[in-house]
Structure 1
């Protein structure tokens, strides 16, 4: 997310909602702003933009000379499992040459006002269903952090994306459960029972798109799962959103989890190690795991912090009214 905190002048161009024809321009704008650290491939952008959580009435853009120079996409709660009154700014990007001209401020006001009209009282940066980002990238410029602070937002826990180098070989760990990859219906049913809500919906959608769902079976029952993604999947899994930053054909793992009564038995490390071996057997050299606070846990298998973000939120009224 990029903007600028300098005193704004009137932004050039009329504010408007964005449509399908703007998709490539938004992707280009993102890559012009954040492409050095968070480059988006076309498939990753299409997966995010085409999400059923995207509402055209909550997408806003500003153009200058016929070219899009700023964009914001907001998301309001729309599921039974959504946190009531909490909305999200999923993307805010301003072209480098347009920063400091009030573009970000105009887009922010439009997005926050639209969220408030839908009953939102707390706005979070990222962390939305079908997210691009769990929070503000720690590598975002200082001006972006000042922009959000000026609008009443505060910063909280750090979330990480992790990288596991498979070139030395995949990790191993003792595990008495059997890995399977050929029964997505069983995994979908397991997740619906063990992780109802957001994960259950997302995993069912992954299965509907033909993505691989891995499971661990122990004593005849599914006890753990992981979604496994590769570059040839029909959609881009969340762990592969920024895979363009790596050469070759990175693979992704997650979401993943262990049934609550089976925790503490080594099955968490077991599903991660088994997933890494599964990908390695199919030629992957890099494995990405997104959005976690458990870097030390994954670090036991050799994973390192690759990208980091800080959660951020603020009260809508205060955020909208502060520093226009």
Structure 2
């Protein structure tokens, strides 16, 4: 029986049903974050009556004809019984009822769990293919080792201070500044990073003007991003300092590594903190 569900029940299921330790460890907060998406998002929240399977889905914030299956989890004892396939079909019907003509198995940014299907989640890859989905894109995370020396030393900050640039925690004006340059998505993530014990955001400022920002923990405590530098400030080196400030906070919170989610500039992160491409995600799409 398919029923509506709540984030608390999903958190318990994910703690048991996510095969990768780095995902299972953040199961409760991951479910809570997904249950509180940007205002106005059309969502589908379904699960089995016995609590052995759950799915979170939604309509894209930018394309009203695109649905996202953001999360689909089945408890170990309920697998290989067609539970996931049945739940996915019901989610597809619900999304179609909301206007979707295509469905993507992957994150609906800015509030998301994963960009797509981690290539190590073989059962989900098999389900996607058997359900008629085709791989349409690839995404990746980069891993920063927080135990290395790359986060130590104030050299860059001293250099910026000599140029009149100061780095510190973001204030309440940061989201609107981010929105004006990068749009609603990143602004929402910055808003989520403010005022949380397991998240944060830093900005670089000169003469009262914000030059760049970096945030972490918006969707998951161990994930870094987003980060951006104003076009007028590119080349000053504020990005590396902001990145290191955030990663240092995550290290202080007890994380040994941080995931740079949906990473773009691979070379920058590699040079700045010796980050490496590690988690790879396949994004599958289907026309309804």
Counterpart for residue 273 of structure 2:
302
Quote the residue 2:118 is aligned against.
Answer: 137
Within-5 A mapping of 1:196-235: 196-207=183-194, 212-229=200-217
Q: What is the alpha-carbon distance in structure 1 between the residues aligned to residue 34 and residue 8 of structure 2?
A: 10
Cα gap change, 1:189 to 1:16, in 2 (>3 Å): closer
**Which residue is 1:26 aligned to?**
10
From 111, 114, 129, give the equivalent of 2:94.
114
Quote the offset at 1:312 in angstroms. 1.1
CA shift at 1:135, angstroms? 1.0
Conservation of the 8 A alpha-carbon contact between 1:154 and 1:312: yes
Q: Provide Cα deviations, 1:140-183, integer angstroms capped at 9, x if missing partner.
A: 12x321221232231412221422324536155464432021x5
TM-score under structure 2 normalisation?
Answer: 0.81
The answer for the alignment partner of 1:187 in structure 2 is 174
Note if contact 2:104-2:286 (Cα within 8 Å) is conserved in structure 1. Answer: no
Residue 70 of structure 1 aligns with which residue?
Answer: 53
Q: Residue 59 of structure 1 is aligned with which of 20, 38, 45? A: 45
Alpha-carbon spacing, 1:161–1:29, altered in 2? closer, same or farther (3 Å): farther
Q: Distance in 1 between matches of 2:14 and 2:255?
A: 27
Query: Which residues of structure 2 form unaligned runs of 5+?
Result: none
Q: CA deviation at 1:206?
A: 3.2
Maintained 8 Å contact 1:165/1:303 = no
CA RMSD after TM alignment: 3.0
1:70: Cα distance to partner?
A: 1.6
Deviation at 1:108? 0.8
Query: Unaligned stretches of 5+ in structure 1?
Result: 1-13, 230-236, 244-251, 318-324
More deviation, 91-100/23-32: 23-32
For 1:1-324, list aligned pairs within 5 A: 14-18=1-5, 20=6, 23-37=7-21, 38-41=23-26, 43-53=28-38, 58-63=44-49, 67-77=50-60, 79=61, 82-128=62-108, 129-141=110-122, 143-150=123-130, 151-168=132-149, 170=151, 173=156, 175=160, 176=163, 177-181=165-169, 183-207=170-194, 212-229=200-217, 237-240=218-221, 243=222, 253-276=224-247, 286=256, 288=258, 289-305=260-276, 307-317=278-288
Matches of 1:74 and 1:239, distance apart in 2 = 18
**Which one scores higher on RCO, CA 8 angstroms, separation ≥ 6?**
1
Change beyond 3 A, Cα 1:46–1:152: closer
CA distance in 1: counterparts of 2:186 and 2:78, whole angstroms: 38
Query: TM-score, normalized by length of structure 1?
Result: 0.73
Aligned residues: 275
Deviates more, 1:112-121 or 1:143-152: 143-152
Q: Is the 8 A contact 1:155 1:310 kept in 2?
A: no
